[in-house]
Amino acid sequence: MNALFSHAERQLAALPVPVQITLPDGGRLGPDNAKVRFTTKTLRSLSHLVRGRVGELGADYVEGRIDIQGTMRDVMAAAAGMLHESPVASGNRNWFSAVGKRGVSIIRHTREHDARQIEFHYDLSEAFYALWQDPRRVYSCAYYRDSNMDLAQAQEAKLDHICRKLDLQAGERFLDIGAGWGGLLLWAAEHYGVDATGITLSRNQHAHVTRLIEEKGLSGRVRMMLLDYRDLDESRSFDKIASVGMFEHVGQVYLKSYFSKIRRLLRPGGLVLNHGITAGGTSNSQLGSGMGDFIEKYIFPGGELVHASRVLESLSDGGLEAVDLENLRPHYARTLWAWSDNLEARLDEAYRILEGSRGAKAVRAYRLYLAGCAMAFERGWISLQQVLCQVQGSVKGDELDGPPGQAYPFRRDYMYR
């Protein structure tokens, strides 16, 4: 016992912010002027602190076995200081073997499992998400084209950035795979005049977007479908396709078939934009030190990350060619801190919206999730890539000898006009 306390005292002294720990017996370690305070209710929670198992520590907080006081930025700085090794490196050992990963990925990503996993996260509460997201409820990395942009402006800039990359033209058939609360779907229809189709597995999102389509008078050329991407009809192709924050839920074993499906849905000469979170390391499919397990249990069951190199390999195997790649990692760190700040400013409302013990656990989980992911993006443990693709061998006919039709323009300056 004394060894555990001594270890804790040494660790506290090395942290980047002053931290105080209240022990289960009421004793205290650390300075009285601490910026972060942990009140442990069990020795096991204290052990998680000492061993740098921040994922288990997060679970202790969610389940009420430890209390945490301090700003989320200070809490995350302390958590990072507790780590004994990089969560990118430790994630390799704490996950499955190559064979095990493949088997688990197959099991976790049946149509039934995917539907339940999406419902678990996205159907939590519309009012809760509305507390901390922008008015359009865009639940993905924003694009801070101007450093003075607020969250709402940066999300609109992201929507337009995607539409510009896809070179959307009026009348084109546009597909949004995993359309969320309809931000991109409606932006593309209203600002670029496309015929837009969105799909989701979330009943709440489907109802929300369907209502918006009717309110905006877009029923003739915009539709939202409650549908698995695997069940999309391939008899009619799309000119442009976007997938934003979706392929993280596909499963590693299905990435090639996922991109193959997109290729079959894309007309010759069309473009597709895949926007999603990627792993910071080349072989880890989740963060170590218990962080990946925390997200799996409380936030995103079934989520699997791959490195950007694996994304390029999978889409190439699926018959697509990557023509432009942009890393938006710093943009996602700023987005997540904006979400975290918004939630912190409205915690009382969040607890009222998500009533009961399960709701309180969800609020505590999202406090750590949003701030923890912001820190992870800042430190490069995870990343965000936008990959623009075309069918392999596509050529823009009016600039090069080859088949006519819209493909990736000869120069990329068209994105920034």
Question: Higher-confidence residue: 126 or 259?
Answer: 259
Tell me the residue type at 119: E
The b-or-e profile of 164-195 (16+ CB within 10 A means b, else e) is ebbbbeeebbbbbbbbbbbbbbbbbbeebebb
**DSSP for residue 42:** S
Which residue is associated with the tokens 């969105």? 198
Query: In the structure, what pLDDT confidence band is assigned to residue 325 with cuts at 50, 70 and 90?
Result: very high
Residue 244: phi and psi, rounded to 5, are -115, 120
| Whether residue 391 has pLDDT greater than 70 | yes
Task: Identify the structural domains of the chain with CATH numbers, from first to last.
Answer: 2-84 (3.30.1050.10), 98-416 (3.40.50.150)
Range in 179-193, 340-354, 400-414 with the lowest mean pLDDT: 400-414
Question: Higher-confidence residue: 396 or 6?
Answer: 6
Query: Catalytic residue at 373?
Result: yes
Q: For residue 330, with 0-12 CB atoms within 10 Å meaning exposed, 13-18 middle and 19 or more buried, which class applies?
A: middle
Range in 96-105, 119-128, 236-245, 351-360 with the lowest mean pLDDT: 96-105
pLDDT digits (tens, 9 = 90+) for 261-307: 999 999 988 999 999 999 988 776 567 667 878 888 888 776 788 89
pLDDT digits (tens, 9 = 90+) for 101-132: 544 444 454 555 454 555 544 557 889 999 99
Res 97: pLDDT: 47
Whole-structure pTM value = 0.88
3-state helix, strand, coil in the chain (%, to 5): 50, 15, 35
**Considering the chain, what percentage of its residues have pLDDT values greater than 90?**
59
| Whether residue 237 has pLDDT greater than 90 | yes
228: left (phi over 0), alpha (psi -120 to 50) or beta: beta
- Please identify which of the residues 141, 163, 373, 389 carries the catalytic annotation: 373
**Strand order through the sheet with 238-244:** 222-226, 195-200, 173-177, 238-244, 266-279, 382-391, 320-327
Return mean pLDDT, the chain: 86
Angstrom distance (rounded) from CA 201 to CA 196? 17
| Whether residue 164 has pLDDT greater than 80 | yes
Residue 239: phi and psi, rounded to 5, are -75, -40
Res 401: pLDDT: 45
